[in-house]
Amino acid sequence: DAKTTQPPSMDCAEGRAANLPCNHSTISGNEYVYWYRQIHSQGPQYIIHGLKNNETNEMASLIITEDRKSSTLILPHATLRDTAVYYCIVRVAKTSYDKVIFGPGTSLSVIP
């Protein structure tokens, strides 16, 4: 699976959009970009995934550049409950199993 690079930490003011970047310059054509987050002392939570088109769900939006070498997770109106470590993961789904390997992630602090 391709390697990802994320800033170790970011701050965001409450109510503003949080834009979390991820570089995955070695991504291959059949690899998807996944985002998870982990709130303190809880298990990671799946947020969103995409291949090459932008995606949106009730939690967030995912913007993938045209060359697919980077992506941005957008939390449109950050709240204090969005304070967490955010993990960007690139992987290929196998036919019978797949595995998620977590990098260091970005620690997002939402400031009142």
Q: Which residues bind another protein (CB under 8 A)?
A: 32, 34, 36, 38, 41-47, 49, 85, 87, 93-105
Residue 93, φ and ψ in degrees, nearest 5: -80, 125
Q: How far is the CB of 102 from another protein (least distance, A)?
A: 4
Between 6 and 70, name the residue whose CB sits nearer to another protein: 6
Element (H, E) at 91: strand 84-91
Between 14 and 23, name the residue whose CB sits nearer to another protein: 23
> Please, what is the end-to-end C-alpha distance for the chain in angstroms?
37
Q: How far is the CB of 42 from another protein (least distance, A)?
A: 5
Q: How far is the CB of 5 from another protein (least distance, A)?
A: 14
Between 81 and 94, name the residue whose CB sits nearer to another protein: 94
